[in-house]
Structure formats: structure tokens, C-alpha cells
């Protein structure tokens, strides 16, 4: 957490609050939350904020530095934040003091304050030129966005990428170089919807199985975005609102409970170091 639907929801709810605003100040409360915070501070004052967007599990905040006599046409910048387990962004009224878990405070030209909060402190951000994103190794390693191609194209791409893989299909879905943005929750839910055993070696799944998986994955992700993500512990959108998709979980977090399709108790095991829940009757191989 947060996974693709949660980060997408944060981007959509944060964008209208900060787009077009200028940054008037920065307070760094936890230096490890941002790579090279001194460089960030030097570039930030007076910078305009562009349209917030998402790539994989990254929240992207474009910046347009203020022109100066020394640099009348400064390059566009972007802050990339990986929220990890508990990172979040909230806009607060003028004068709001940092909260217990606030790590960065961005003062805006309308008096409001943008907080980056992170309970577990695993989240991080970095600043770079927007035209240099492709040279960032982490960025270059990311797999395709699961919602951008048509389901048939995504299914074919997954089948091609994984045709010789011996890894469990659940482990493959968690690999951000295979497909970007999918984590434990939505991998479990998509595999259930597609009727695939999460421990099946990826190379043994048929073309029809991958088509079913692609359709299920896109359907699950879109439904989760419509419901503003899943709030299990700490996740909230940029307005402080909880998501609702957790109320629709078919398998995630339901080990030992009856399957919603057949009534059999759901099973659980560790795959790729993550707790995995599935129905041994409904999730056969394809």
C-alpha cells in the first residue's frame, strides 16, 4: 500500500488543489524523506506546480522554476514520490502546524500548506529534470502500465514476457518490471477473478489464461479507482477521505473465510514473501 488505484486517486484529488500554485517555502522535517533536500530547496522557491500525475506507484508533481536574470528559461523539473507503505499528501489551511508524522511542508502562494506525511518513514522523493526521466534507471526498468493498452494487448504482452518464466504468476505480477503498479491486494483479486492459481508457474499459463488475467486485472483496477482505492489502515486520498474498495474484496485478507463463489474456506500461503489468499476450487489452471 498504496498501489496503483490509491496513487491514482491521490493524484486526482491533489491535482485541483495545487495546480497553478507557486511554492513560497519549504520545511524539511525528515531529510531522508527526500533525496538531496538542499538541492530541492534551492530550486523550489517561486516554482509553479503543474498537473499532478501517476506512473506505476509513483506520484509525479511537475515544477516550473521561476525565471531569473541568470536563467531566463529554466528547465521543467519534476518531483517523484514513492509513497511506499504509509506516504500521503494533504493540503491544509494557512498556519496549520506540522503533524506528528509530517516529513515535508510546502508553503503555497495562497497561504495553504502541502504536507507529505509518512508514518513508517519508508517513503521517499527525488527531484530531477523532466526531460531526464528516461535516464533514471528505476524509471527505465518499469513495465507497462496495466490500464493503457487494450486488455487483449496487455494479455499478449504478459504472455510474451512470461512465456519462459518459472516464477509463480503471483510473484510475476508483483514484479514492477513485468507490469507497473500492481501490488499484493490487486494481484490476489485479479487472479481470483481470472480463476488462476497464484502459485502456477507463469510459463505454464495458456494464452487464454493471460487474456482472462488481463481483463480481470483491468476490471479490478478500474473498479478500485472508481471507489477511491482501498483503506485498510492508514490510506486516505488528498482530501483525507477513505477508499471503499476494501468492502468488495473477494480474497485479500479473507483467509479461512468462505469463498464468495463456492463457499469453500479460502487458503493462504506465502508467495514472493507476501501473504497470498486464494480458493483452491475456483482457481484452477488455465
Q: Which residues are catalytic?
A: 2-3, 57, 274
The cell for 118 is 509518512
Which of these, 161, 147, 284, lies nearest to 221 by C-alpha position?
Answer: 147
3-state class of 137 per DSSP? Answer: helix
Kindly state the helix (H) or strand (E) to which residue 90 belongs, with its residue range: strand 87-92
Q: Is the dihedral of CA 144, 149, 154, 156 positive or negative?
A: negative
Could you tell me if 22 and 107 are in contact, meaning their C-beta atoms sit under 8 angstroms apart?
no
Could you tell me if 157 and 180 are in contact, meaning their C-beta atoms sit under 8 angstroms apart?
no
Residues whose CB falls within 8 Å of the CB of residue 247, separated by 6 or more in sequence, listed in order: 227
State the distance between the two ends of the chain, measured CA to CA, in whole angstroms. 29
- Cα 146 to chain centroid distance, Å, stands at 12
Q: 97: phi > 0 → left, psi -120 to 50 → alpha, else beta; which?
A: beta
Residue 188 buriedness (CB in 10 A; 0-12 / 13-18 / 19+): buried
- Which residues partner with 28 through β-bridges? 104
3-state class of 125 per DSSP? Answer: strand
For the chain, state the CA radius of gyration.
Answer: 21
How crowded is residue 222: how many other Cβ atoms within 10 Å of its Cβ? 14
Amino acid at each position: 500500500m498504496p498501489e496503483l488505484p490509491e496513487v491514482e486517486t491521490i493524484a486526482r484529488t491533489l491535482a485541483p488543489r495545487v495546480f497553478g500554485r507557486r511554492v513560497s517555502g519549504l520545511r524539511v522535517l525528515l531529510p531522508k524523506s527526500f533525496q538531496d533536500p538542499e538541492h530541492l530547496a534551492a530550486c523550489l522557491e517561486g516554482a509553479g506546480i503543474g498537473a499532478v500525475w501517476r506512473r506505476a506507484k509513483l506520484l509525479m508533481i511537475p515544477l516550473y522554476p521561476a525565471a531569473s536574470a541568470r536563467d531566463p528559461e529554466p528547465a521543467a523539473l519534476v518531483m517523484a514520490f514513492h509513497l511506499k507503505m504509509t506516504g500521503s499528501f494533504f493540503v491544509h489551511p494557512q498556519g496549520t502546524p506540522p503533524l506528528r508524522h509530517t516529513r515535508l511542508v510546502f508553503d503555497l502562494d495562497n497561504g495553504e500548506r502541502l504536507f507529505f506525511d509518512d508514518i513508517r518513514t519508508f517513503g521517499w522523493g527525488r527531484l530531477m529534470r523532466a526531460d531526464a526521466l528516461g535516464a533514471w534507471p528505476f524509471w527505465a526498468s518499469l513495465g507497462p502500465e496495466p490500464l493503457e493498452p487494450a486488455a487483449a494487448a496487455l494479455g499478449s504482452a504478459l504472455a510474451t514476457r512470461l512465456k519462459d518464466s518459472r516464477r509463480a504468476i503471483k510473484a510475476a505480477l508483483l514484479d514492477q518490471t513485468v507490469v507497473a503498479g500492481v501490488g499484493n491486494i490487486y494481484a490476489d483479486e485479479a487472479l481470483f477473478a481470472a480463476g488462476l492459481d497464484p502459485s502456477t508457474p507463469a510459463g505454464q499459463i495458456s494464452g487464454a489464461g493471460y487474456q482472462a488475467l488481463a481483463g480481470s486485472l483491468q476490471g479490478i483496477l478500474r473498479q478500485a479507482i472508481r471507489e477511491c482505492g482501498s483503506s485498510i489502515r492508514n490510506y486516505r486520498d488528498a482530501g483525507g477521505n477513505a477508499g471503499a474498495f476494501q468492502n468488495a474484496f473477494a480474497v485479500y485478507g479473507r483467509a479461512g473465510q468462505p469463498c464468495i463463489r463456492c463457499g469453500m474456506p479460502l487458503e493462504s500461503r506465502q508467495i514472493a514473501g507476501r501473504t497470498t489468499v486464494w480458493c483452491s476450487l475456483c482457481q484452477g489452471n488455465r
